Structure 1
């Protein structure tokens, strides 16, 4: 078995297991709490909100939308390795802290992680300068580049946390730099 095959097989279930958490939360929220049990990251709220925000959504439409981006981007990052995947999550959480501390609005959902995964994928190929990683970055840009306008406040739809997207993207970029630095 090739190293790539091992990584693909070993990482396939990880994003699905991660995704089970927000789906379970949303099911409980809708069935038991009538859609009122959200776990957002709120200004002045508990630090726990930073940790729970990616797993809380404003209904099934929000969750489905994030899930459709989250799974393929997760699998693409996992082609680089589990360490890289963990680095993206840590980067996203790290960059969410200033938003929690200083941004006047709350937010929640996996979209920050989605943008973190995308930020990582767009940068890692250019840092590593390996054919496989470069192809991964180009593929991510061509396949998911349409998400990039939502990083800007004037191009983001009303009610969508562009700052959550931007901080998540910055977390992914930070992860790409950290992983690259560690491997050189």
Structure 2
């Protein structure tokens, strides 16, 4: 099937991106719950692969730690914002989204490793949640995209209260992971921003079924 020079060629691309983003995020959240179920009761996995600060053997644990949680309440608290923020961020293409996630995970995990108190063990997807929040918040302004600015402002109005999580107000909560996750998301908005040519191309009708949702 081919599409003419009108606007119809854009719709399949937008639809396929939305389906891909939704499928990816649902699978991600399902993985988090599966890992929580496997580790329920014993807590051995999160104990082994959580981030223990300033231990060089723990540096690589910044990756698995982002997928592990301390019980059902912990994973439940991260599920809805992760789904929403991840879906909105992934709509712009999965390749860039994965780059954003990697930068957030590394920045948040490294920040925890450097600054968390001795003897602590940190895990959870909240660093990614805060990173995606920061990414969505500034992406539109960085790229001068009116739609993304609207998305960022809406996210701020609905979820702005989570910013209290970057200050040390609650014991047992890694404000370091939140803060450095937020920093990672802002950095990702700058470092992985689309060029003006890429933004213009994304608005143009395309032949065939449109650009890949992974672009």
> TM-score of the superposition, structure 2-length normalised?
0.77
Find the counterpart in structure 2 of residue 58 from structure 1.
70
CA drift of 1:4 comes to 2.5
Structure number with bigger Rg:
2
Q: Relative to structure 2, which stretch is displaced further, 126-135 or 164-173?
A: 126-135
Q: Using CA pairs under 8 Å that are at least 6 residues apart, name the structure with larger relative contact order, 1 or 2.
A: 2
User: Which of these residues, 7, 13, 38, is aligned with residue 23 of structure 2?
Assistant: 13
Asked if 1:120 is matched to 2:120, the reply is no
Tell me, yes or no, if the aligned pair for 1:124 and 1:133 is still in contact at 8 Å.
yes
Tell me, yes or no, if the aligned pair for 2:62 and 2:105 is still in contact at 8 Å.
yes
Find the counterpart in structure 2 of residue 149 from structure 1.
164
CA drift of 1:55 comes to 1.0
Tell me the secondary structure at the aligned position of residue 47 of structure 1.
helix
Asked if 1:35 is matched to 2:43, the reply is yes
CA distance in 2, matches of 1:102, 1:165: 12
Tell me, yes or no, if the aligned pair for 2:127 and 2:181 is still in contact at 8 Å.
yes
Q: Structure 2 stretches of 5 or more lacking a match?
A: 1-9, 197-215
Asked if 1:92 is matched to 2:104, the reply is yes
Find the counterpart in structure 2 of residue 178 from structure 1.
191
Find the counterpart in structure 1 of residue 182 from structure 2.
169
CA distance in 2, matches of 1:77, 1:37: 29
Runs ≥4 in structure 1, deviation > 4 angstroms? Answer: none
Asked if 1:132 is matched to 2:147, the reply is yes
CA distance in 2, matches of 1:134, 1:83: 21
CA distance in 2, matches of 1:109, 1:84: 22
Residue-pair matches, total: 179
Q: Structure 1 stretches of 5 or more lacking a match?
A: none
> TM-score of the superposition, structure 1-length normalised?
0.89
